[in-house]
Structure 1
């Protein structure tokens, strides 16, 4: 690698890759990321650190006579651009014709984004300074937990990523994406009790360690009394974090092609998809919006490899606000442009945030607990796996606090369970939703953090077996 290539900016690498291309078309993008983190265990900060990384991706499109083929090659750091472009073009020549081939999007295309970002600006960055108010608050929380003979564990992470995307058709797009999260675990000295609280954030200015610690303290107090319950169907309050993990999976499987071909839960018996069908008992809306306050995400697609939910030919395609479910009715499915053309249906892109809401909901989560005669209150879910794509049956475990609610009050903690449930079925059976609030998914937050959800009341949540997990 030459000294010159080491000093190249992300924009320069994109331009160099496009200039070096001899293919019939090309897409190049660079992602520069910086990250800072804090970690703590047993009421003490343990590590902190900062790091930087770069990913460079080149996608070449070659028409070998039988149809357009695509080849993607990615490198980390700052690679030899000419070698990377040549490898991408060879990958395209070695590939067969792509079934999702369509013309690349260019400026002025109806599907091109309106906002393109400041192409020439330096990359956005973060540093350990982002935690300037977090560390002192943690110190106070550690002292208070120690006074109760309890232990706090957890971490805080913040990442800033800048993406530059360019195409041989003339698109030049840029997006800065901040992503942050905090997870706080409370445990008893003997590790027999464990609870969790977490939050997502863009910049940590809205993170209250005091509030998270108070949530953990309340749940630890709830868990002092232990009640063993058998497997069965229980009225269950699913908090926003648990709802988000289930809805993310429902969202990830919203692929129009799978539905049209009868392979997922959104397929209509007898053929076609369920768009237009009511799938919620409540007037719930599930939506995504790149401009959603506090959950802002990229307004265009960046795709390294084709799948049922995205196509490399759709790089740069706008991702406008979309209702997936509106008033309880399935409204949209994710549909790349190639499949949209085959089905004479609109192309619809996936986004990196989701919001579930009931416009008529007024209850808070505490008010929903207070109105529960007898039921379970969950904290989080984990180890979620798909059992049956036709019904979207999922299995998984409860984690870090399952509580018994009696006569409107939490009266103790119960054992953990394995559950078997479909998030789509749950939407049809839910009888109450709280007001929507920003939440942090527990299972999927390595990949998806931008979510806002209500608490849902499900009258018959299926706890299929008792779990020994703590």
Structure 2
């Protein structure tokens, strides 16, 4: 397989149109899976995806072709396909001059692709083995453990006929553990997850202890009806609710009245959205949650443009001190709507709360729910960003500052915008792994939130 940077150079050398951009991403992945207190599968794989973006004519049209081939003899065919697509298609509404190099070739451009291996799981496997042994010795008194650990390193090279040469190595790691136990004849389950770029920050013994605590809460069960409940949301649950908020922050969508950030004659930028001085931000340099500091996209949308590939990605405060601070615009959209360019972030942090921990927030609750995980989240109404979804693997009753029982599952209906408006307490921000969106978005830092009237719209019989 050709080195990624060599593939870029060979493809660019074949250009016969006005401009060409080539992106190559090599992904090295290791995975580990276990079920019923036993390791089941593990493996390491490598894959390549590369895209040619051809620009032709005035006004400019773009043709995009993505391939996974590693045969050097097929490079020309992919380039010609992209160029032919550019010649046939209509002019692009997001057309803009290609980004020119500002600081020369990235320092690591010529280095080999980064890689992972199965050894990255050594500490995790040791921690799990201790958990398996304890469970086997205690029989049904200890949980059966199921889960999945994954580590990826993605190396992306981006080059264009403008002379741009950019590269970034992006490690991503996550561990998810489900614990299942039968308590007094009733099945109980709980989930915990953690993310870390190199997995060194994952503490398996602490995760197993948290699982044991949550499963212990299930020794007593209580059936509750649908309704509105004071609810404490841990950081992982908050992340699963805030990520759809980020994805909805389209400037064009707001100007055209198609999302929750529209108002007559403009957008809601500058409007207060949260009762507390919370800040929702993305930053490619955020410690432990870094992502590529430049745009690298293979298709244009309302929020990103293939013509912006290689442009610096900078920190953005989407909500600043409770006020809507920015919406997402590519260069073309920013020019059209006289707004600042803002690149959708690949991490998300919510800050501005107190230093209170989740435990302290539970201790301060007279009666309410602790909602540990969500799943099957879907958008119901883009105009209000109303979401629906189900609870799963752990809804617990809080009474007099203590978790006293597990309760039945619910379907919920809530908008993250309304949650920010109604939240009465935010605790300390910490790195967390979303459960619902983990396959698409892992880099989050969130506080626990207190919602005085979280809407459980109906009872769910899901286990």
TM bucket normalised to smaller: over 0.9
Residue by residue, what CA displacement relative to the aligned partner does 1:234-283 show, whole Å, maximum 9, x if unpaired? Answer: 00111111110111000011010001111100112x22111100000111
Structure 2 portions without partners, runs of 5+:
none
Equivalent position of 1:133 in the other structure: 123
Contact 1:186 1:216 in 2 (8 A): yes
Q: Does 1:249 align with 2:239?
A: no
Residue by residue, what CA displacement relative to the aligned partner does 1:166-214 show, whole Å, maximum 9, x if unpaired? Answer: 0111110000000000000000157821100000111111111101101
Q: Does 1:19 align with 2:13?
A: yes
In 2: Cα distance, 1:241 partner to 1:444 partner: 10
Q: Does 1:167 align with 2:157?
A: no
Q: Does 1:334 align with 2:328?
A: yes
In 2: Cα distance, 1:132 partner to 1:381 partner: 30
Alignment of 1:413-428 (within 5 A): 413-428=406-421
Contact 2:142 2:181 in 1 (8 A): yes
Contact 2:143 2:212 in 1 (8 A): no
Q: TM-score, normalised by structure 1?
A: 0.95
In 2: Cα distance, 1:450 partner to 1:392 partner: 22
In 1: Cα distance, 2:66 partner to 2:420 partner: 39
In 1: Cα distance, 2:315 partner to 2:37 partner: 43
Residue by residue, what CA displacement relative to the aligned partner does 1:111-143 show, whole Å, maximum 9, x if unpaired? Answer: xx8993410011110000101111111110112
- Kindly state the Cα deviation for residue 78 of structure 1 after the two structures are TM-superposed: 1.2
Q: Does 1:59 align with 2:53?
A: yes
In 2: Cα distance, 1:417 partner to 1:117 partner: 52
Equivalent position of 1:386 in the other structure: 379
Equivalent position of 2:359 in the other structure: 366
- Kindly state the Cα deviation for residue 77 of structure 1 after the two structures are TM-superposed: 3.3
Alignment of 1:271-310 (within 5 A): 271-310=265-304
1:198–1:283 CA distance, 2 compared to 1 (3 A): same
Residue by residue, what CA displacement relative to the aligned partner does 1:348-369 show, whole Å, maximum 9, x if unpaired? Answer: 11121010011x5121110000
Q: Does 1:192 align with 2:192?
A: no
Task: Return the match for 1:69 from 45, 61, 64.
Answer: 61
In 2: Cα distance, 1:16 partner to 1:332 partner: 39
Aligned length: 456
Residue by residue, what CA displacement relative to the aligned partner does 1:346-394 show, whole Å, maximum 9, x if unpaired? Answer: 1111121010011x51211100000000000011111001110000000
Contact 1:56 1:78 in 2 (8 A): no
Residue by residue, what CA displacement relative to the aligned partner does 1:298-331 show, whole Å, maximum 9, x if unpaired? Answer: 1001010000111111101111111111100010
In 2: Cα distance, 1:77 partner to 1:165 partner: 17
Equivalent position of 2:133 in the other structure: 143
In 2: Cα distance, 1:363 partner to 1:31 partner: 41
In 1: Cα distance, 2:92 partner to 2:355 partner: 49
Alignment of 1:154-233 (within 5 A): 154-189=147-182, 192-233=187-228
Task: Return the match for 1:410 from 394, 403, 410.
Answer: 403
1:150–1:259 CA distance, 2 compared to 1 (3 A): same
Task: Return the match for 1:343 from 337, 345, 348.
Answer: 337
Equivalent position of 1:3 in the other structure: none
In 2: Cα distance, 1:308 partner to 1:191 partner: 49
SS of 1:194's partner is: strand
- Kindly state the Cα deviation for residue 340 of structure 1 after the two structures are TM-superposed: 0.6
In 2: Cα distance, 1:114 partner to 1:288 partner: 26
Contact 1:53 1:77 in 2 (8 A): no
Task: Return the match for 1:97 from 69, 79, 91.
Answer: 91
Q: TM-score, normalised by structure 2?
A: 0.97
Instruction: Give me the CA root mean square deviation.
Output: 1.3
Contact 2:226 2:459 in 1 (8 A): yes
In 2: Cα distance, 1:208 partner to 1:18 partner: 45
Contact 2:20 2:55 in 1 (8 A): yes
SS of 1:193's partner is: strand
SS of 2:436's partner is: coil
- Kindly state the Cα deviation for residue 8 of structure 1 after the two structures are TM-superposed: 1.6
SS of 2:266's partner is: coil
In 2: Cα distance, 1:117 partner to 1:365 partner: 42
Task: Return the match for 1:457 from 445, 450, 453.
Answer: 450
Task: Return the match for 2:101 from 95, 103, 107.
Answer: 107
Greater displacement, 11-20 / 191-200: 191-200
Runs of 4+ more than 6 Å apart? none
1:235–1:114 CA distance, 2 compared to 1 (3 A): farther
In 2: Cα distance, 1:246 partner to 1:136 partner: 33
